[in-house]
């Protein structure tokens, strides 16, 4: 009799322990689906040095890390207007400074300033369409991210491709910073700060305390797009993928 009771208790414990990881896995998958990036778009035209073709009458874009046919929300961050577009390809070769390549139709519909095409790209597909790439981060940050995930710590190898761009006149209202990442520990943020200063010799690096458990590493401010692009491209050597450009207000 006692033996049967022990079997029932053991079986119940086993079933409960098997179900628990499913809930945890679901939470991890939901977080991995999120993708958001603010930065400058490259507006497609005949003069743009991209081998792949893009119909300028369409609501299609090129993106480097989202799968083909992914649905994205494109927002003009200067006026708040937005629309839904589709990723045509992630194989197009263009500078990593741009967070996407958009058509003239998208730019005109959203009334984007062609000299300062500042947009936000957000993945809205319910499918897990973000391409996972080789990444590296600090062990402490990995443990913390599992409990309290913070945007901006995705890292991967960047393309070495370059593209030609037209010179843009200096805008007196132009003021942007590069968001490197948000960190849970100030010590880890300081390590990243020191690495940027020592390895790629950028001087305008700062740590902003957002809360007791959120420290942001920023580079800037920049008052012209050329100096912003130079610093952004230098950051490629540190293998960050989801660098964001933030407008200073």
Count: domains in the chain: 2
Kindly tell me if the per-residue pLDDT of 3 is higher than 70: no
pLDDT tens digits, residue range 180-204?
999 999 999 999 999 999 999 898 9
Q: What is the pLDDT of residue 154?
A: 37
In terms of domains, do 147 and 94 share one? no
Report the predicted TM-score, pTM, of the whole model to 2 decimal places. Answer: 0.67
Residue 202 lies in a domain: yes
Main-chain dihedrals φ then ψ at residue 14, nearest 5 degrees = -65, -45
Task: Report residue 20's pLDDT band, with 50, 70 and 90 as the boundaries.
Answer: very low
Q: Are residue 220 and residue 176 in the same domain, yes or no?
A: yes
Mean pLDDT value across residues 90-118: 94
Q: In what order do the strands lie in the sheet with 214-222?
A: 205-211, 214-222, 176-183, 244-247
Q: Which residues contact 158 (CB under 8 A, 6 or more apart)?
A: 96, 236, 239, 240, 241
User: Is 23 domain-assigned?
Assistant: no
Peptide bond into 221 cis (omega under 30): yes
CA–CA distance, 247 with 249 (Å, rounded to integer): 6
Determine the pLDDT at residue 199. Answer: 92
Position 133 pLDDT exceeds 50: no
Note whether 117 and 146 are same-domain residues: no
- Kindly state the average pLDDT of the residues 93-110: 94
Alpha helix positions (H), the chain: 2-32, 104-109, 139-147, 186-200, 225-234
> What is the rounded CA–CA span in Å between residue 78 and residue 95?
23
User: Residue 118 in contact with residue 130, Cβ under 8 Å?
Assistant: no
Q: What is the mean pLDDT of residues 26-44?
A: 69
Provide the domain limits for residue 68. 36-123
Comparing C-alpha atoms, which of 38, 147, 161, 49 is closest to residue 100? 38
Contact 239/157 with Cβ under 8 angstroms? yes
| Least trusted range by pLDDT, from 10-24, 45-59, 234-248 | 10-24
User: CA 125 from chain center: how many Å?
Assistant: 16
């Amino acid at each position: 009799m006692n033996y049967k009771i022990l079997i029932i208790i053991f079986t119940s414990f086993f079933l409960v322990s098997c179900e628990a990881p499913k809930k945890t896995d679901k939470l991890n998958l939901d977080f991995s689906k999120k993708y958001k990036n603010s930065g400058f778009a490259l507006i497609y035209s005949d003069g743009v040095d991209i081998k792949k073709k893009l119909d300028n009458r369409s609501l299609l874009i090129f993106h480097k890390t989202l799968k083909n046919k992914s649905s994205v929300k494109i927002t003009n961050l200067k006026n708040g207007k937005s629309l839904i577009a589709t990723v045509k390809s992630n194989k197009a070769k263009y500078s990593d400074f741009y967070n996407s390549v958009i058509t003239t139709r998208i730019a005109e519909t959203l009334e984007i300033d062609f000299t300062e095409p500042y947009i936000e790209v957000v993945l809205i597909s319910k499918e897990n369409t973000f391409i996972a790439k080789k990444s590296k981060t600090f062990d402490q940050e990995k443990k913390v991210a599992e409990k309290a995930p913070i945007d901006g710590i995705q890292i991967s190898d960047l393309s070495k491709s370059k593209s030609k761009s037209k010179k843009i006149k200096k805008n007196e209202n132009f003021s942007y910073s590069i968001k490197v990442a948000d960190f849970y520990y100030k010590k880890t943020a300081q390590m990243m700060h020191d690495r940027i200063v020592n390895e790629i010799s950028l001087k305008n690096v700062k740590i902003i305390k957002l809360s007791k458990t959120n420290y942001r590493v920023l580079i800037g401010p920049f008052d012209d797009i050329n100096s912003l692009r130079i610093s952004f491209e230098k950051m490629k050597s540190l293998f960050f993928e989801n660098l964001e450009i933030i407008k200073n207000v």
